[in-house]
Structure 1
Amino acid sequence: MLQRLFKAYIGSFSDLRREVWLLAFITFINRAGTMVIPFLSLYLTKNRGFSLEEVGWILTFFGLGSVAGSWLGGKLVDRIGHYKTMAFSLLISGVLFIFLQFPTTFWGICAGIFIVMLVADTFRPAVFVAINAYSKPQNRTRSITLIRLAINLGFSAGPAVGGLIIAGAGYGGLFWVDGITCITAGFLLLKLLHPKKAVENPKEILSIPKSMMKDKPYLVFIGAMILFGFVFLQYFSTIPLYYAEVHFLSEFEIGVLLGLNGFLIFLFEMPLIKYLEAKVRSTLFHVITGSILVAISFMLINLTGWVGILLVGMIFLTLGEMIAFPFSNSFALKRAEGGKQGSYMALYSIAFSIGHIFGHNSGMQMINKFGYALTWNVMILLSLIACGLLVYVMFLVKKESESPVLET
């Protein structure tokens, strides 16, 4: 029985190209060091002494930098290609992460966060386009999942190690680790993954490229992803505060709980995605399922003060994430065919960057004024609205596929 399960698990990774594995390895090295982000709200309140309102505004600049970086990354990908854009992002953001520990004033930290994210998030549309370049069409969703596994495996180790670093060397050590790992990932990219190794998937060349801003299903889909990102990102800003202030967890305990998210994804996401791909369901159906599971995670932690419910809520959140992100990413890449891929994937990245702009700040302000329980109820409502928008996208795509002119 165990042998069959092991073979099935290994089989879920089959047929992925070597270049996709290399891209995943580089992404893992980068993400393993990104341990400042989950502790950012705690760093700003405990180490720098900022209020919740001030932290909310600082995290808004985090989101603004992310939006600007995603937009810039899309432009760079369409002009100079995904390879040069990724190398630029990794090497320069590594240096900037090291310097981010030195600003002490409110506006200095706002400016520092903005600049770091401006450079760091040029990587996001570039890596999406790289996945499309290196993977076979039939393996696109699983290639996306492998990259996500690399991210989450790094994330599972990062917060746990980050908690130990805080205990031993303080928050300053996190910035050094972040910077060094980003620079290391950049050099590995230059050494291992040359752009000539990419095998572009054959696409129909259109005389008039598809206009992203006239792609109504895609724009509605992006609206749904903004709401989903708004809700999901609470787990990396307000939820850690909830763990600390309501359930009195230490930084190390919070790191372990957040790290569980990445560990579960590492174990189960690829087999789950392969299983779901075999089902006769649309990509958007799976995204809706994931959104509902995330809503349930917030509902659960509102039901009881039992500390064990945090673990149950994290499991539901992780299931929702495992399903929603790979299939939403796959849908975006599919819509990008025939258009400018950098611009399409930049808008997909910007959807989650907007979540950073409004999600963190709004979450902080709502908690400060109305408390955690009401804030989590608002997150449940926003998740359901996102599901409604995704159902509408399904209708638009079905209508579009029946058109004699357009084809998805």
Structure 2
Amino acid sequence: MVNNYLTNFKGFSKEIWILTFITFLNRAGTMVIPFLSKYMKENLSFSYSQIGWIMFFFGVGSIIGSWLSGKLSDKIGFYKVMVFSLFTSGLIFIVLQYLTSFESLCIGILILTSVADMYRPAMLLALDTYESKETKTRALTLTRIAINTGFLIGPALGGLIIMKIGYSGLFWVDGLTCILAISIFSIMIKEKKLPFKLKKIKSDTNSNKIIFNDKPFLLHLVITMATGILFFQMFTTLPLYYKEQFNFTEFETGLLLSFSGLILILFELPIVRFVEEKNIDRIKVISLGILSMSISLLLMLFSNWSGVLILMVCFMSIGVMLTFPFANSFAMSRVHMNLKGRYIAIFTMSYSFAHILSAKMSMTIIEAYSYQANWIFMGTLGTVALILCYYLSIMLKKERKSIELKIKNSLFTEKKFS
């Protein structure tokens, strides 16, 4: 059983293992994010509306960073983008602790996420460059395991740091681990140059036309954004809910997030390998994941029993394992060779939009109505995403039939004139 599990980790290049390690280091160090809404509520005494606006700027910065990453990666390469992103965001994290007014924190968060979120599209391009086609989805999952391992350690450690030192300790740890991670990356991995130059598409108009004419890709972006809205509840509304409904400490909140990380570490890669080996339809897998995430948030309606939080984390973790890896691989499968950076940037921007909507919508609903209204809204959103998955599967079947027909017509025409 152990040997079968370990075979999931075989066949990766040295560069992928190093990328995985620095991703783990970066994720483990990013302790501020799970406690950000709690920090603003309890330490800075911000209202729900103000927290919603700051998280809105968090998402806007993420969109800007993803877009810049795509543009710059296509022009100067992913390597330089990754180095700039992690080193600079490390410095900004350290400065962020000194911004305590609403206006300054809005600007600080906007700048931070604009720089920090340049990393993810560039990192996905690095995976695409350093790994073979056969192991690409597993490589994506391996880096997600690194994120989840950091997710396992980071929140619990972050909760302890808050209790012993205070929030200032978190900002220092976040900043220094970013700088340490990119230092290791730049020493261990050298920039990889292509042996030839790809013929570039001449204008942005043509490149935009290619991307925005890809209707399955665009519909997939909407579905991805919906799943992101559901998932980001873990970092926006739920930490506040744990405190207000169950009187949880920061450490207890961190332990719940760590439990989710443990589930993902143990089961995500075997699940991905099983789906790939059995060649199960990816859209069906994503649909099952969305259903699980929706159930997890609807379980929050049963707020009289703290044990429901364990069930919620289990269902949310299952949903994440069934959606995120295959959403990534689906997006990578649609990219145009000359536009990899922009495709990946637009894909990651869907999560950025999700972060904006998840925080702002939820805080508005909670302030105007209640937490229960927010959980019902999230369950409804999950149902809409499931319907869109059904339409996407129909769209992909029509696309495959159209391609097969064109191939047959082409062969028939060649035979006729030979």
- TM norm. shorter chain > 0.5: yes
1:34 aligned residue (30, 35, 56): 30
Deviation at 1:261, TM superposition (A): 1.1
Deviation at 1:303, TM superposition (A): 3.1
Deviation at 1:96, TM superposition (A): 0.5
Identity %: 42
Show the counterpart of 1:314.
313
The answer to whether residue 94 in structure 2 is matched with residue 95 in structure 1 is: no
RMSD: 2.1
Any unmatched runs of 5+ in structure 2?
A: 408-418
SS at match of 1:102: coil
Letter aligned with residue 99 of structure 1:
V
Tell whether the 8 Å contact from 2:245 to 2:303 is kept in structure 1 after alignment: no
Q: How many correspondences in the alignment?
A: 402
In structure 2, how many angstroms separate the alpha carbons of the residues matched to 1:81 and 1:262?
Answer: 31
In structure 2, how many angstroms separate the alpha carbons of the residues matched to 1:18 and 1:384?
Answer: 42
Matches within 5 A, 1:380-399: 380-399=379-398
1:84 aligned residue (80, 83, 96): 80
SS at match of 1:278: helix
In structure 1, how many angstroms separate the alpha carbons of the residues matched to 2:281 and 2:56?
Answer: 34
Q: Deviations over 1:293-350 (max 9, x none)?
A: 1011112222352101101110110011011000000000000143501111111111
Matches within 5 A, 1:8-407: 8-196=4-192, 211-404=210-403
SS at match of 2:9: coil
Q: Deviations over 1:215-242 (max 9, x none)?
A: 1110111011111111111111101111
Letter aligned with residue 212 of structure 2:
M
| Comparing 114-123 and 260-269, the one that deviates more | 260-269
Q: Deviations over 1:27-59 (max 9, x none)?
A: 111111000000000000111111111111111
In structure 1, how many angstroms separate the alpha carbons of the residues matched to 2:276 and 2:195?
Answer: 23
SS at match of 2:246: coil
Any unmatched runs of 5+ in structure 1?
A: none
| Comparing 380-389 and 111-120, the one that deviates more | 380-389
Tell whether the 8 Å contact from 2:73 to 2:81 is kept in structure 1 after alignment: yes
Tell whether the 8 Å contact from 1:44 to 1:50 is kept in structure 2 after alignment: yes
Q: Deviations over 1:263-307 (max 9, x none)?
A: 211111111111121223222221111111101111222235210
Letter aligned with residue 140 of structure 1:
K
Letter aligned with residue 180 of structure 2:
T
SS at match of 1:402: helix
Tell whether the 8 Å contact from 2:127 to 2:136 is kept in structure 1 after alignment: yes
Pair 198,91 (structure 1): closer, same or farther in 2 beyond 3 Å: farther
Pair 133,48 (structure 1): closer, same or farther in 2 beyond 3 Å: same
Deviation at 1:139, TM superposition (A): 1.2
SS at match of 2:402: coil
Tell whether the 8 Å contact from 1:36 to 1:175 is kept in structure 2 after alignment: yes
In structure 1, how many angstroms separate the alpha carbons of the residues matched to 2:381 and 2:285?
Answer: 18
Pair 293,318 (structure 1): closer, same or farther in 2 beyond 3 Å: same
Q: TM-score, normalised by structure 1?
A: 0.94
Pair 49,55 (structure 1): closer, same or farther in 2 beyond 3 Å: same
Tell whether the 8 Å contact from 1:134 to 1:199 is kept in structure 2 after alignment: no
Tell whether the 8 Å contact from 1:231 to 1:379 is kept in structure 2 after alignment: yes
In structure 2, how many angstroms separate the alpha carbons of the residues matched to 1:8 and 1:328?
Answer: 25
In structure 2, how many angstroms separate the alpha carbons of the residues matched to 1:142 and 1:30?
Answer: 20
In structure 2, how many angstroms separate the alpha carbons of the residues matched to 1:368 and 1:295?
Answer: 22
Following TM superposition, the consecutive aligned residue runs of length 4 or more in structure 1 with deviations greater than 4 angstroms are 197-200, 203-210
In structure 1, how many angstroms separate the alpha carbons of the residues matched to 2:262 and 2:334?
Answer: 31
